[in-house]
Chains A and B, each alone.
Chain A
Amino acid sequence: MNRLIACLLLFASLCAGSARAAMDPALLAGLAADESDDKIAAIAKVAALADADALRVLVAMSKDNLMIAGDKFYIADGDKLSDAATGAELSARPDGLDSLTINNRVRSALDSALAGLRLFSPNRDKRYAAARELQDSADAALLPLIERALKSEQDAEIRTLLQYAQAVANLQNADAAVRLEAAKALSSSSNPSIKSTLLSRLQKQGDSYAEADEKVRAEIADSIKQIDKRLARADAIARVFTGVSLGSILLLAALGLAITYGVMGVINMAHGELLMVGAYSAYFMQGVFRAHWPDSTDWYLVAAVPLAFFAAAAVGVLMERTVIRFLYGRPLETLLATWGLSLVLIQAARVLFGAQNVEVANPGWMSGAIEVLPNVVLPWNRIVIIGFAGFVLSLVWLLMNRTRLGMFVRAVTQNRAMAGCVGVPTARIDTLAFAIGAGIAGLGGLALSQIANVGPDMGQGYIVDSFMVVVLGGVGQLAGAVWAALGLGVASKFLEGWTGAVIAKILVLVFIIVFIQKRPQGLFALKGRFVES
């Protein structure tokens, strides 16, 4: 945005060569009116100038940068201050400088006015954004501008949007034939806001409809039906995405447990705290980057990946060596001991980082979203996490199935005595496998830090979900964990859509209880003698 202002200032200074008059102060004075109605009228007047000055003033106003001192107006840009009317930079700050506040109503008037001005920008992206802004909010006042833009616009995508904008503005036309045409033109849109605009024409005000002509009403209803069809499809896509996104998070949280509990049979109640260690690694790395490499803060997350893995793995080794290895084969004692360990870890985090949640910012490349369809917006942080879950999953699969260590781990789980007899160092394998499980939990925590709150007891919220995934998937099976996580994710998102988050959570738990009763071995059961033994 600052670049835009800079461009505009440059443009303004180029124009200044031709002895340009400053903006009329009376025009500006209207912007500081008390009533929103007067402010909006003043904005329309300024916008009607349609020059660089008007754009500069309106951009400043929409960003809360337009200042007033006495009856003079100024534009703030960081520390710099310039006169709003002339654009000349000021050296001293005038007394009583105060920013001009606007409310949402004024802001949306400003947005439309700015969009109108930007329709003729040489920059394609800006024109596109302007046309998008106008497509559902255009009114008769903007119509001449839109029609002029349509004449010169070459880009097909922008043209479509402008045609929608034109049609939306024409919905208010006095001529019923024009309105009919407009209603028809809008049927090809898939934008919920346009649907909303159309619906508002069908509403009754007193005894009469907002749209007086019956034919036009029928046409509008028809257009709405067509838009609805497209919206429903997009809705399904969005739901599946949110489900997969939740599934990927469940998977990341549960994958480490799938190794420690699923493969090794350790009921690790401190699993959630291993996630927490991973999340705090992200926080720690962020602090290091902010202090030492402030320019590349955005990449702290990449650097945090190995840290999260090794920090959590180190905690895991410590746990295994000092406590768990004495308790193999005694699930109840393991449960109590690891639960005690979880309390110790929570308290340690409180002492080290404080009891309050810490702020872990999304890096720039994970903020924002891509718009696949007008009502399907996929946030970057979730897309990255889905990708990351795939990456971690393939890593685990390779490790377990393609390396010597993985083979040893499988051998030890299947028959410990026999593996020991043929020379597998079982104790060391136990430690290593536990460390890997813990490290993967750390990676899961790293991902969680990007969407959930990071605090000492964050792990408590995931321990139940993690066990749910592993138990549902079938103990000892990675593939089971994957299907269970995705299934639970999609199922709870679809349920949430119908019943709300609270009931959905209960329903999912009920489902799992019933399922485990009917099929205690989970979705995928290992076949073989050792399971029965």
Chain B
Amino acid sequence: MKRRSFVKALALSASIAAIGATSFAAHAADTIKVGILHSLSGTMAISETALKETALMTIDEINAAGGVMGKKLEPVVVDPASNWPLFAEKARQLISQDKVAVVFGCWTSVSRKSVLPVFKELNGLLFYPVQYEGEELEKNVFYTGAAPNQQAIPAVEYLMSKDGGSAKRFVLLGTDYVYPRTTNKILRAFLKSKGVAEADIMEDYTPFGHSDYQTIIAKIKKFASEGKKTAVISTINGDSNVPFYKELGNAGLKATDVPVVAFSVGEEELRGVDTKPLVGHLAAWNYFMSLKNAENDAFVKKYKDWAVKAKLPNADKVVTNDPMEATYVGIHMWKQAVEKAKSTDTDKVIAAMGGQTYKAPSGFTLTMDKTNHHLHKPVYIGEIRADGQFNVVWKTKEPIRAQPWSPFIPGNESKQKL
């Protein structure tokens, strides 16, 4: 116990020192402070570091174009280190000490849940850029990632379709925390409504940072040899994905036999993996780097230029992914809302957010729903290519409205109109 609080104290004092250094010049200039709350170390750093870079790039872009209401944006970056309680401490520090107007941050649902009370108490504003399990609708949060009906449900429908392989048996595999557990609860109910028997669903969880997937792959193989086409739905998060996909490749489990569709694996997570044995495995997102449209070309180029400018490691090989796009769209929509409200006051910005539109790199004009704080998003399903990018094999014709309260969870019937 002592050890833990000592770590916290140490990390806190170190970060306070760091913040002090970065915000030194801020007091004099007339700027709007913007908080960036992403893990830059620990198990989630693999995913979240790129979001910090995207946020900095977008802020840089907005500043270059004249800022917001004539004021420059000033990013305040903190590192909650994949430590959920630390997320809350850092959020509190951003809002009450640094007085930021808005925070862009969090990836895992457990980190979002841990900062929620802080944002409610201090009436802060959080933009959350990652797909999640739904079952939440907070006044102080805008969700620019997908709700289950904008990612998980269409992906499973695709797997059950003829082109997706007409899967009849499903392995629900995830990291052990709130997002995979809730998503799998929704998916289980959905599969049951489609006539899939209890015996044809296998659910399995691993701890954060798990690195030995031999047993699980062997179990999947066994489960798949029962006479029905089997598919794996993976909600594994963070750097566990690297050993998981490595093991999958080594074990020779091919996508044509047992396809794996992942909800938290994008271009960024696959950078450290040899993707040749993984060709054909799937991911469902609302954006892929390989989409061809003018907005995306510009977005990818901007990020590549930023990587060179910010001297990121392997700057020539950087990729963009869905949560990065959601971060980018979120910051731009916040800017538009601030300009509409002519204020950075939380309540006024929240009122101005509903109905905002932005022409996004996903190739559609995305709309912030008038009431439910979620974006209307298109859904894409992609297959992994040998070069680590995705081929889109299925997509919706137009953006679809989010259902944060899944109709497949009992008790949510009255909340469908939200």
A13 at interface by CB-CB < 8 Å: no
Are A202 and B227 interface neighbours, CB within 8 A? yes
Distance in angstroms between the alpha carbons of A102 and B205 in the assembled complex:
32
Which of A199, A354, A456 lies in contact with B227, CB distance below 8 A? A199
Are B227 and A357 interface neighbours, CB within 8 A? no
Interface residues of B, Cβ cutoff 8 Å to A: 3, 7, 10, 40-42, 45-46, 49, 79, 162-165, 176, 204-207, 209-212, 214-216, 218-219, 221-222, 224-228, 239, 242-243, 246-247, 249-252, 255-257, 259, 271-272, 274, 279-280, 282, 313, 383, 385-386, 391-393
A493 at interface by CB-CB < 8 Å: yes
Distance in angstroms between the alpha carbons of A43 and B40 in the assembled complex:
48
Are A192 and B222 interface neighbours, CB within 8 A? yes
A425 at interface by CB-CB < 8 Å: no
Are A501 and B226 interface neighbours, CB within 8 A? no
Complex interface bits, A361-372 against B, C-beta within 8 A gives 1, otherwise 0: 110000111010
Residues facing B in A380-430 (CB within 8 A) are 380-382
Distance in angstroms between the alpha carbons of A380 and B252 in the assembled complex:
12
Residues of chain B lying within 8 A (CB to CB) of residue A501: 204-207, 210, 215-216
Chain A nearest CB, measured from B295 CB (Å)? 19
Which of B205, B221, B257, B393 lies in contact with A375, CB distance below 8 A? B221
Residues of chain A lying within 8 A (CB to CB) of residue B207: 501-502, 505
Residues of chain B lying within 8 A (CB to CB) of residue A102: 391
Quick one: given A105-B165, A354-B313, A500-B205, are A359 and B243 in contact (CB under 8 Å)? Answer: no
Stretch at the interface among A165-173, A235-243, A302-310: A235-243
A200 at interface by CB-CB < 8 Å: yes
Residues of chain B lying within 8 A (CB to CB) of residue A108: 256
A63 at interface by CB-CB < 8 Å: yes
Interface residues of A, Cβ cutoff 8 Å to B: 36, 63-64, 101-105, 107-108, 111, 192-193, 195-200, 202-203, 231, 235, 238-239, 242, 245-246, 249, 339, 343, 350, 354-357, 359, 361-362, 367-369, 371, 375, 377, 379-382, 451-453, 455-457, 461, 493, 496-497, 500-502, 505
Chain B nearest CB, measured from A377 CB (Å)? 5
Chain A nearest CB, measured from B132 CB (Å)? 21
Distance in angstroms between the alpha carbons of A199 and B212 in the assembled complex:
31
What residue of chain B has the Cβ atom nearest to residue A269's Cβ? Answer: B3
Residues of chain B lying within 8 A (CB to CB) of residue A350: 41
Are A367 and B274 interface neighbours, CB within 8 A? yes
Residues of chain B lying within 8 A (CB to CB) of residue A231: 225
Chain A nearest CB, measured from B7 CB (Å)? 8
Question: How many A-B contacts at CB < 8 Å in the complex?
Answer: 160
Are A493 and B162 interface neighbours, CB within 8 A? no
Are A192 and B225 interface neighbours, CB within 8 A? yes
Residues of chain A lying within 8 A (CB to CB) of residue B219: 497
Chain B nearest CB, measured from A458 CB (Å)? 9
What residue of chain B has the Cβ atom nearest to residue A347's Cβ? Answer: B14
Chain A nearest CB, measured from B85 CB (Å)? 17
| Chain A at the B interface: SS class | helix
Quick one: given A64-B386, A203-B227, A357-B45, are A107 and B280 in contact (CB under 8 Å)? Answer: yes
Distance in angstroms between the alpha carbons of A102 and B202 in the assembled complex:
29
Are A196 and B250 interface neighbours, CB within 8 A? no
Are B42 and A457 interface neighbours, CB within 8 A? yes
Are A452 and B252 interface neighbours, CB within 8 A? no
Residues of chain A lying within 8 A (CB to CB) of residue B212: 242, 246, 249, 451
Residues of chain A lying within 8 A (CB to CB) of residue B252: 369, 371, 377
Distance in angstroms between the alpha carbons of A389 and B252 in the assembled complex:
25
Most B Cβ at <10 Å: residue of A197, A231, A246, A461:
A461
Are B259 and A64 interface neighbours, CB within 8 A? no
Residues of chain B lying within 8 A (CB to CB) of residue A199: 225-228
What residue of chain B has the Cβ atom nearest to residue A191's Cβ? Answer: B225
Chain A nearest CB, measured from B313 CB (Å)? 6
23 contacts between A and B (CB under 8 A): A64-B385, A64-B391, A101-B392, A104-B165, A108-B256, A193-B225, A196-B224, A196-B225, A199-B225, A235-B218, A239-B215, A242-B212, A343-B10, A350-B41, A355-B79, A356-B46, A359-B271, A371-B252, A377-B251, A379-B247, A451-B211, A493-B214, A500-B206
